[in-house]
Amino acid sequence: MSQDLLRSLVWMDYRLAVLFTVIFPLILLIWAFVQQSEAIQRLLVIYWRVSSLLAITVYLMMGGLPLSFIASFLARILIPIGLWFWVDLNEEIHEQSASKLKLSFTAWRWAVSIYSVLGAIATIPFLQCAFSQANFASPFCQVWLEAPLGLKDAIHAGYKPGFLGFLGIVGLIIYVLYFGYFILVRLAKQGRSAVEQ
């Protein structure tokens, strides 16, 4: 694959990510809040917690850290799991009467799940960027850093990449600790119920 084609595909992926993982779920969360749809609100709050790994990934990429490729891959796997895991929320949403909100939410949930799974599959070849400094420095891997570095120049122009990478590492540590707590404590206690018992 040519570098120009790869760059076009990577930038298309970033644009789709902004649309599917930021804009649509933000609109849906506001809409669910206005419509007082508690099940959709709860699932979207869970989505934002899970998908925060994408924001952490961007900061890791701004810092030029190879670990960002693993974080990106894991985020794409965790998003659909987080959206479909909860038995009680799935039942509540399924039992809701037909509405534009329910239809829009269901369409988005399927779309972002398919996008995430296909994205995870597509990024498998780029996992090598995380395990070798030579690979990470290659144009094959560096193309993924262009958009985060552009974002850095737009919103963090005065900060050094090392500091932004540090913020990404801190965010990742907090995320891993929270995820570990969820797996070891909450999951054992609550199972697949999103409502604390």
pLDDT at position 180 is 94
Q: Retrieve residue 70's tokens.
A: 């693993």
- Is the predicted pLDDT of residue 197 greater than 70, yes or no? no
Which among 54, 62, 66 is positioned nearest to 166, based on CA atoms? 62
Percent of the chain scoring above 90 in pLDDT: 86
Task: Read off the pTM.
Answer: 0.91
Q: What is the mean pLDDT of residues 145-149?
A: 94
How far apart, in whole angstroms, are the C-alpha atoms of residue 183 and residue 191? 10
How far apart, in whole angstroms, are the C-alpha atoms of residue 96 and residue 82? 20
Q: What is the mean pLDDT of residues 126-155?
A: 94
- Is the predicted pLDDT of residue 196 greater than 70, yes or no? no
pLDDT at position 194 is 77
Q: Is the dihedral of CA 176, 179, 183, 185 positive or negative?
A: positive
- Is the predicted pLDDT of residue 149 greater than 60, yes or no? yes
Q: Are 60 and 143 in contact (CB under 8 A)?
A: no
